[in-house]
Amino acid sequence: MPTIAVLGASSDRRKFGNKCVRAYLSRHYTVYPVNPKDAEVEGLPAYRTIADVPPGRLDRVSVYLSPSVGLGVLPELARREVGEVWLNPGTVSPEILALGQQLGLNLVTACSIVDIGISPSELPE
């Protein structure tokens, strides 16, 4: 089963960090929500940081963090085995792109929900 960590996952069903969790669950991914404030998201345990996610390869990481917060997370991602890091709309900055490239991360700048064939508007709140 493919895996994804959702950075900025949320228990608020109106937020894209929550919609991403639900979309990937519907496509049979093993989903690891990452949020330092929520204990669980959509019935799944939430992890405080990417370092707290169980060891092993992550096929994808979907980022829903502001660029300033994302900059601090990229070095943690570089210490993991990660296939793709999806920078969703609102998470990209020139600094994020430069650091991600410097760290050798496979960055994708697009909506990770749309990529799996789901429109975020299809996901009820």
pLDDT value at 2 more than 90: yes
Three-state SS for 38?
A: coil
Is residue 26 helix, strand or coil?
A: helix
User: 73, 20 in Cβ contact below 8 A?
Assistant: no
- pLDDT at site 28: 97
* H-type alpha helices, 27-124: 67-78, 94-102, 112-115
Delineate the domains of the chain, giving CATH numbers in brackets.
3-122 (3.40.50.720)
Q: What is the pTM of this model?
A: 0.96
pLDDT digits (tens, 9 = 90+) for 42-100: 999 999 999 999 999 999 999 999 999 999 999 999 999 999 999 999 999 999 999 99
User: Is residue 4 predicted with pLDDT exceeding 90?
Assistant: yes
